[in-house]
């Protein structure tokens, strides 16, 4: 009986899956890239992630300063090629029961004629 119980527990344990955070899947892409102007976009949308009901807000930050709070997946700003830009995106998204907050960060650098993620 003990062996049967152990086998049953092991089989049930193998069937469980680790819960992954949606925050790990959020990306920021460079969609317009010139020496004086950048436009960024996130992939966190209801279309890309059907398990969420809606995105409440996007808080875009640059070098510790708030650039914009909006319901838009994109943000744009003028750039200086001699500056590194620390980009932060704080998103609040909701499912049918709760709302969650994710923070995504990366650094933009000017390299060989275009902006790239560090």
**Average pLDDT score over the chain:** 86
pLDDT at 19: 47
pLDDT at 70: 77
Q: State pLDDT tens for residues 55-72.
A: 999 999 999 999 888 788
Domain membership of residue 90 (yes or no) is yes
* Residue 7: pLDDT band with limits 50, 70, 90: low
Domain membership of residue 91 (yes or no) is yes
The burial class, CB within 10 Å (0-12 / 13-18 / 19+), for 80 is exposed
Domain membership of residue 94 (yes or no) is yes
pLDDT at 69: 83
pLDDT of residue 14 exceeding 70, the answer is no
pTM, entire model: 0.78
Q: What's the CATH number where 94 sits? A: 2.60.40.10
Domain membership of residue 1 (yes or no) is no
Structural domain for 108, as ranges: 26-117
Mean pLDDT score, 46-61: 94
DSSP secondary structure, 75-98, as one string: EEEE--TTS-EEEEEEEEEE-SS-
Q: State pLDDT tens for residues 77-87.
A: 999 999 999 99
Q: Tell me how many domains the chain contains.
A: 1
The candidate with the shortest Cα–Cα distance to 47, out of 57, 39, 37, 55, is 55
Mean pLDDT score, 16-35: 83
Domain membership of residue 52 (yes or no) is yes
């Amino acid at each position: 009986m003990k062996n049967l119980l152990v086998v049953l527990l092991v089989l049930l344990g193998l069937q469980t899956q680790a819960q992954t955070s949606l925050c790990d899947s959020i990306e920021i892409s460079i969609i317009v890239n010139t020496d004086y102007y950048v436009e960024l976009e996130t992939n966190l949308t209801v279309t890309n992630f059907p398990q969420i009901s809606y995105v409440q807000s996007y808080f875009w930050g640059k070098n510790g300063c708030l650039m914009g709070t909006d319901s838009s997946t994109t943000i744009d700003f003028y750039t200086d090629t001699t500056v590194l830009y620390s980009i932060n995106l704080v998103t609040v998204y909701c499912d049918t029961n709760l709302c969650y907050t994710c923070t995504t960060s990366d650094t933009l650098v000017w390299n060989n004629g275009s902006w790239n993620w560090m």
